[in-house]
Every structure is written in C-alpha cells, then in structure tokens.
C-alpha cells in the first residue's frame, strides 16, 4: 500500500502560513511599516491603491539590504534578529520571526528595491507566488521600497472575503496610526489613490497624539508618568469629557509594540470609575516599558496579544498611574478671584481673622467634630436642618391628601399600604404592550423574544387611542393617553424612534427626504478614520436629507440637513451620528444602510426630558399608531405600556 503522507510544496506551505499573518491589506501595512522602523528609517511613506487590494507600498530611508540579504529576506523564517533560542526572550525590535515577507510573497506580487549606503548600486527583485521572477542591479536611493500588488491574486476565494474599500481603508488607517504613535520621532505619510491622507511631522509624543486624534484634543490630554524599578508607564489619558460610547481611541504599547489587552483596559476603566458613564470608554495612549524577559510577545502571529510574567503587578501599576494622573488634574471647576474685583473687596477676603474670631470658631462643636480624631460620627443633630423636611415624603398625612409612597415602592392609599401590597409584599408591575397580566399580577415581559413574533410577520394587537381625549405628559418623558380598552403610557423617545425609523426606511428605498439648506453651512473636520467612514456614508445620507460635500483633507461642508430636524447644531449632530453608527457596527450585523437608518432614528428621536405641547403629544401618538410596527422600537424595546382596567383594579386590591 502506498504511503499517503508527503511534504507540501513551499508555495502551498507559504500560502497556509500567510493566512495567519496576512489577513487583509492592513496586515501587510503593519508588517512592512514595522520592517521600515527596524531598518532605522527616519522617513517612512505609505502608498495604497484601491484600499490596498491593488497596491500597498512602503518607502523608507533606512539602511537597506545587500543583494544576498534581499534574496534571503523572502525565505521562510529568515531573520537577522534571532540566532539562538534565548534571543526570543530579549526581543526589542518589531519584526523578528522572518514570516512577513515570505507570507506577503505567497499571496501577492512583490517588488523590492533596496540599496545600502556603502553600495554603488542597489537590487531590484520581483517575486510572484513565492518564486523569484526577476532580479537585477538598479540605480536606487539609500533605503528600501517594498510594493505588494494584487493581494490574493492567486487565492481568489480569500480575496472575495475582503470587505468594501471603506472598511479596508479604515483598517489600514488603524494600523498606520498605531505604528506612527509608537515612533513620534519618525516622519510618516499616507497617500491613498494619489491623495495624501496623513502627513505626520517629527515631534513629541503629545504632538503626534494630537496629529492623529485631532487638534480638538490639544487641551484635553492628561499626562501620565510613573517610573518604578519594575516598569515605566508614560503617555496620556483624555479628560473625562472625552469619553465616548464606542471604542477606538484606546492604545496600549508594550516596549513600543501595540497590544490588545482586555485585562489592562479594565485597569484603566477602573481608574475612571465614577468619572464617566459605565457604558463609555476613556481615551488613552499609554506606553509600558519593562524588561523583555518579563513579557512573551511570541504568542500570536500578529504579535498583538502578549503574556506578562506577572499580570497582577502590571495591572496595579497601570491603574495607580492613571489614578495619580487624574488626581493631579482637577475635575471640579475652580474660581479665579483675579477675574472679579468685587470678590476681593469682601470682608472675608480683605480683612484678617482676629483672635476673637479664631476663639469663637475653635469653641464650636462643629469645629471640634472635624478636628478631633474619630469624632466624625458625633455630628450633633439640629432642628434647623433643612433635611428634616424630606421625612415628610415617607409619612402619611393625618387626614386626606395625596397618596404617599410606601417603603416598598408601591403606591398606597392614604393612611397605609394597599391590601395587595400587604398580601404579597412585592410591588406590582404594569402590563407591557402586547402582553397580559396573570391573576397574581405578574406580567409577561415584551423583551426581544416577544418582539420577534412581530418582526416575523405577526401583527401587534391593535389599540386605538381615543380621539380628542386629553393627553398628559409625565416627567417630560411619558405621555398618558386613554384607549378603547385601557390607558397607555407612551415613552416619547422610543415612540419617536419607531416613527423616524419607518420614515427613514421608506426614504432609503427610493423616496428621498427633503433637505433644508443651511443659511450658514457648517464645516466639519474629522479624524482620518472617521473621514473615511463618513465618505462611505455620503450616498445614503443624501437619500436621508443630508447634503454634505468633501472640502479638502478630512474636512466636509454641511450644506443641508433633513427638513424635519432642528437647525443650529449640524456639526455636533453629525459627530454624534458617527459615534452612534460605530456603536451599531460593533454590536449588530446589519447592512450599512440598515445600520445608518437605525442610527439616524435613535439620533434624531426626541430626547427624554423634553416638554411637549398638547399638539405635539397628539401628533406623536397619532404617528406612532399609524406605524406598521407600533409597539416596539427597531431594537425591540417597548414604545408604550398598557394598563388594562382589571389589572389596575388588582393593584388596588379590588378583585
């Protein structure tokens, strides 16, 4: 019987290995730029065509390679960084395993031009499908130029898995920014389809951060600097008001190498506890320098996941460093007395404290309470305290009056708790839209699963609001309206989101929304990744009533907005729209247009806390019940809750 195990040909083995290293054009950008850094370059230029699918080229002024080295560089595991196994644990360079060029050459057509300072001529090398097809001397400047053309030309199935140019370009910008942040002393530029997208002059780390994230962050960065015997931490965190609902501005570097670490990210988030909302992400660009023997970077093909010898120590140091930096930054506003001369004239400022005043203050019980040790809990009560009136809210009036709130949260009749509350000890719940109350008062929730039936084609139970019946707004958030069988509590923001969603959905399918021209067009400047994102959304935004025109590098002019939206904050609204869109992209897998429609509906919906007139409330309720799917938002949350008569009577024990 013939043997069945055999060695793979080199070109096939290289293609399999390339799958780990080169997943998309951005992967080649990372590897080629890091090689240029390792070559000692001070000027690195990246050129891409067709979002890297047609061309990724990196040109540097590094030390270049000899003819032999140029040929050897494309062999598998050919490297100048490792000679013995112990070298793996002392790595200080970016690339070291010798996989990048071999992997690139296995799935693309590669052209290398390189020359050393001491050589009169350089080397031109062309490789295709891991085979050298051309090699000759050439007159070249010092340094190297590596061009990767037609990625996955020989693996069409993998090329089909690449995303749109907009998505791939954003990935390229991400990798470019990570390398550029690591080395602010190097000039970097990025040119896409003949247009320069990034031009980063040499400078300080703060200058590089501002160059990449935007000039608006110039005054919003807090410096982090902690040096210890074990490691050094430095960089910047954003002030709490820079936190966003989406990830993207979080950068960790270990020994100048970008890494992903949910563990360390948790440390930073912990340092921001109570300063930012729980669902927000702080901005940070943090560098950790430590002995290479304390970290293993050879645990992932892209080297973006690493292992620390002692993760807990690193976690503690990172969190302490960020907390210390934030403590030095005063979050609360301060008064500058130099700004108001009237304050300088007050007796408390202009007159010195007399001995009599000192004695009077020192003799008070309050002074002794806060100056003597272990006395803080002996603060004396006083009948003058304004806080005593809050007690009245939890006590029933002697006779008549409104119903007080019982301690368990139920609404009780005057004089005590309701019979239902006494019987069960549990608060009663209202019936969500489309569900029924059980005899015990429990309800069937209308969460995502209940809503799925409607999405599948089941029409919600139709409720008819009573025409001309008075409407009442509660807490500037809810609208109470009677119906043919009950009364309902409408959540104005959720209801408006559903109304807008159906309107935008119709517009996106060929019935454009009218655009209202701006009297004074607003100029919007974005970071490079956000500019690429907005460029890809422009055709769909046009259908939805936005008139936005590119205006130079990363800048747009907002000429018009949907006619039914407010005017005056077009710039802020679009910035928020992009953040919300990125949040949808990361959470839900919908088409680009569907993501945009859902984003706009949530973004433009009337906010909780907005007071409405009777006419506005009536229009909102009527428009909601005119919707094809009126009982839930696009995300499945209820737009209203129904209170049926028998259920309300049970709340009062009338059954």
Class of domain 10-200: alpha beta
Return the pLDDT at 287: 95
Candidate from 120-134, 336-350, 599-613 with smallest mean pLDDT: 336-350
Residue 89 pLDDT > 70: no
- Tens digits of residue pLDDT in 369-426: 545 544 444 444 444 444 444 444 444 444 444 333 333 333 333 333 333 333 333 3
Percentage of the chain lying above the pLDDT 70 cut: 70
Residue 446 burial (CB < 10 Å; 0-12/13-18/19+)? Answer: buried
For residue 395, the SS3 value is: coil
The tokens for 391 are: 């007690």
Distance between CA atoms of residues 308 and 367, nearest Å: 51
**10-200 and 205-328, same CATH topology:** no
Return the pLDDT at 351: 55
pLDDT, greater one: 404 or 77 = 77
Domain range summary for the chain, segments of one domain joined by +: 10-200, 205-328, 424-655
- pLDDT, the chain, mean: 76
pLDDT, greater one: 360 or 222 = 222
List of residues 6+ apart from 274 with CB closer than 8 A: none
List of residues 6+ apart from 186 with CB closer than 8 A: 37, 41, 42, 43, 44, 180, 202
The tokens for 570 are: 């077009």
- Tens digits of residue pLDDT in 299-355: 445 556 667 777 888 899 999 999 999 888 754 334 444 444 444 445 554 555 566
Return the pLDDT at 49: 95
Residue 520 pLDDT > 60: yes
Mean pLDDT value of segment 152-163: 83
Residue burial 380-396, b: 16+ Cβ < 10 Å; e: rest: eeeeeeeeeeeeeeeeb
Residue 193 pLDDT > 80: yes
Q: Residue 36 — pLDDT band, cuts 50, 70, 90?
A: very high
Beta bridge partners of 480: 472, 489
Return the pLDDT at 447: 34
Percentage of the chain lying above the pLDDT 90 cut: 26
For residue 289, the SS3 value is: strand
pLDDT, greater one: 581 or 186 = 186
User: Check: CATH 3.30.1370.100 for 424-655?
Assistant: yes
Q: Residue 11 — pLDDT band, cuts 50, 70, 90?
A: low
For residue 398, the SS3 value is: coil
Closest CA to 161 of 342, 39, 24: 24
Distance between CA atoms of residues 542 and 535, nearest Å: 11
Mean pLDDT value of segment 598-610: 85
Mean pLDDT value of segment 41-52: 95
Query: Please, what is the end-to-end C-alpha distance for the chain in angstroms?
Result: 85
Q: Residue 360 — pLDDT band, cuts 50, 70, 90?
A: low
Report CA-CA distances (Å) from 294 to 91, 194, 290, 299, 319.
11, 44, 7, 14, 19
Full-model pTM: 0.63
Q: Residue 251 — pLDDT band, cuts 50, 70, 90?
A: very high
Which CATH code is given to the segment(s) 205-328?
3.30.230.10
CA dihedral sign, ordered 623, 628, 634, 637: positive
Residue burial 488-505, b: 16+ Cβ < 10 Å; e: rest: bbbbbbbbbbbbbbbbbb
For residue 256, the SS3 value is: coil
């Amino acid at each position: 019987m013939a043997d069945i195990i055999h060695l793979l040909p080199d070109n096939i083995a290289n293609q399999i290995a390339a799958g780990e290293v080169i997943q998309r054009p951005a992967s080649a950008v990372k590897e080629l730029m890091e090689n240029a850094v390792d070559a000692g370059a001070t000027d690195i230029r990246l050129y891409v065509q067709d979002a890297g699918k047609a061309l990724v080229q990196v040109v540097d002024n590094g030390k270049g390679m000899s003819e032999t080295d140029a040929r050897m560089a494309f062999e598998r595991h050919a490297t100048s960084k490792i000679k013995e196994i112990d070298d793996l644990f002392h790595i200080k360079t970016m690339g070291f395993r010798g996989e990048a060029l071999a992997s690139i050459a296995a799935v693309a057509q590669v052209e290398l031009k390189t020359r050393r300072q001491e050589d009169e001529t350089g080397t031109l090398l062309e490789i295709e499908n891991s085979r050298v097809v051309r090699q000759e001397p050439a007159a070249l400047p010092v340094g190297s130029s590596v061009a990767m053309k037609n990625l996955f030309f020989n693996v069409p199935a993998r090329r089909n898995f690449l995303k749109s140019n907009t998505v791939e370009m954003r990935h390229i910008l991400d990798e470019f920014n990570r390398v550029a942040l690591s080395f602010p002393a190097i000039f970097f530029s990025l040119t896409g389809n003949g247009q320069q997208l990034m031009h980063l002059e040499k400078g300080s780390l703060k200058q590089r951060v501002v160059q990449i994230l935007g000039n608006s962050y110039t005054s919003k960065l807090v410096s982090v600097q902690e040096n210890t015997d074990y490691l050094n931490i430095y960089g910047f965190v954003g002030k709490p008001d820079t936190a966003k609902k989406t990830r993207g501005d979080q950068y960790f570097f270990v020994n100048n190498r970008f890494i992903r670490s949910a563990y360390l990210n948790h440390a930073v988030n912990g340092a921001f506890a109570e300063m930012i909302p729980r669902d927000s992400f702080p901005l940070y660009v943090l560098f950790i320098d430590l002995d290479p023997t304390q970290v293993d970077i050879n645990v992932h093909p892209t080297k973006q996941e690493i292992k620390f010898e002692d993760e807990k120590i690193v976690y503690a140091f990172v969190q302490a460093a960020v907390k210390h930096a934030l403590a030095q930054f005063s979050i609360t506003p301060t008064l500058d007395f130099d700004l108001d001369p009237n304050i300088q004239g007050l007796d408390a400022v202009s007159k010195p404290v007399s001995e009599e005043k000192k004695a009077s203050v020192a003799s008070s019980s309050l002074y002794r309470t806060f100056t003597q040790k272990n006395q803080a809990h002996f603060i004396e009560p006083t009948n003058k305290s304004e806080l005593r009136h809050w007690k009245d809210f939890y006590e029933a009036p002697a006779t008549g009056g409104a119903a007080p709130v019982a301690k368990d949260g139920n609404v009780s009749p005057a004089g005590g708790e309701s019979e239902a509350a006494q019987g069960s000890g549990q608060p009663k719940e209202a019936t969500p839209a489309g569900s029924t109350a059980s005899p015990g008062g429990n309800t069937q929730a209308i969460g995502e699963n209940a809503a799925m039936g409607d999405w599948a084609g089941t029409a919600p139970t139709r409720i008819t609001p009573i025409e001309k019946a008075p409407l009442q707004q509660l807490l500037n958030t809810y609208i109470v309206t009677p119906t043919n069988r009950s009364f309902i509590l409408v959540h104005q923001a959720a209801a408006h989101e559903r109304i807008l969603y159906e309107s935008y959905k119709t517009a996106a399918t060929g019935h454009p929304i009218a655009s209202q021209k701006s009297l004074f067009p607003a100029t919007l400047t974005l970071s490079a990744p956000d500019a690429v994102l907005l460029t890809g959304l422009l055709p769909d935004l046009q259908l939805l009533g936005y008139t936005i025109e590119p205006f130079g590098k990363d800048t747009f002019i907002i000429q018009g907005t949907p006619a039914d939206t407010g005017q005056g904050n077009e710039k802020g609204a679009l910035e928020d729209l992009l953040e919300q869109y990125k949040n949808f992209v990361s959470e839900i897998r919908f088409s680009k247009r569907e993501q945009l429609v859902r984003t706009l509906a949530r973004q433009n919906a009337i906010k909780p806390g907005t007071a409405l007139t009777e006419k506005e409330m009536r229009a909102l309720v009527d428009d909601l019940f005119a919707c094809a799917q009126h009982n839930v938002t696009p995300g499945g949350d209820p737009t209203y809750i129904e209170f049926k008569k028998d259920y309300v009577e049970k709340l009062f024990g009338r059954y």
